[in-house]
Amino acid sequence: MANSNVARGLQPVRHRNGAPWAGAATKYYVPASDATALYIGDPVVVVTDASDSKGTPTVTKATAGATNYITGVVIGFITAGDPPVVRSRDAGVHRAASTEAYVLVADDPDLVFEMQEDSVGGVMTVGAAGRNADFVDGSGSAYTGMSGVSLDSSTLGTGNTKQLRIIAPVDRPDNDPTLDYAKWLVSINLHTQRNATGI
């Protein structure tokens, strides 16, 4: 059976040690000057020497491609208004471009995420486990609030400058790793909280 082609960015599922992810996240700031929209599942990176007036660190959408670091993945939003309103993936919302907001980010460097491959470079197949790849941008949905980011199968390799570590295919009846658009378990290889040199 063919895999569904529904990219949703990076979705946290568990920790490396097998413990379930309980929804923990850190609050970060996104100023109105940031003209890039953010969606649930988007990878973000902390901006050096930038914060709100209370010192909350600023993040922006991470750049796809080798050597580009990631701090974590967006799982929800908090409006900058008074009172603030928390919006999660169940609310079907996103952070519109050029809108001040706070984002909830799953930033534990030991998290494991589910992610769909784009299959542009061919099917990655079961041999991809243990290798590395970058992510590729895709259009998020203002209707569902979900990211369109996916695994860039064209970058599959062993280089340690690639952004993501591929752990294994998702073991589910609706996922066939030998076909296009397979879902994979990945971790962040270039994480700002683990590989801090030169950031």
DSSP codes joined into one string, 24-84: --EEEEE-TT--S-B-BT-EEEEEEEEE-TT-PEEEEEPPPSTT--B-EEEEEEEESSSS-
Intra-chain end-to-end CA distance of the chain, in Å? 44
Q: Give the per-residue pLDDT at 88.
A: 57
Mean pLDDT of 181-194: 95
Higher-confidence position of 87 and 161 = 161
Q: Kindly tell me if the per-residue pLDDT of 31 is higher than 70.
A: yes
Q: Are strands 26-30 and 132-133 parallel, antiparallel or unpaired?
A: unpaired
Q: Kindly tell me if the per-residue pLDDT of 82 is higher than 70.
A: no
Q: Kindly tell me if the per-residue pLDDT of 143 is higher than 60.
A: yes
Q: Which residue has the tokens 């670091």?
A: 69
Q: Kindly tell me if the per-residue pLDDT of 18 is higher than 60.
A: yes
Residue 70 to residues 30, 42, 47, 82, 151: CA-CA distances in angstroms?
15, 10, 11, 30, 14
Q: Kindly tell me if the per-residue pLDDT of 32 is higher than 90.
A: yes
Q: Give the per-residue pLDDT at 188.
A: 97
Q: Kindly tell me if the per-residue pLDDT of 76 is higher than 70.
A: yes
> What percent of the chain is predicted at pLDDT more than 90?
80
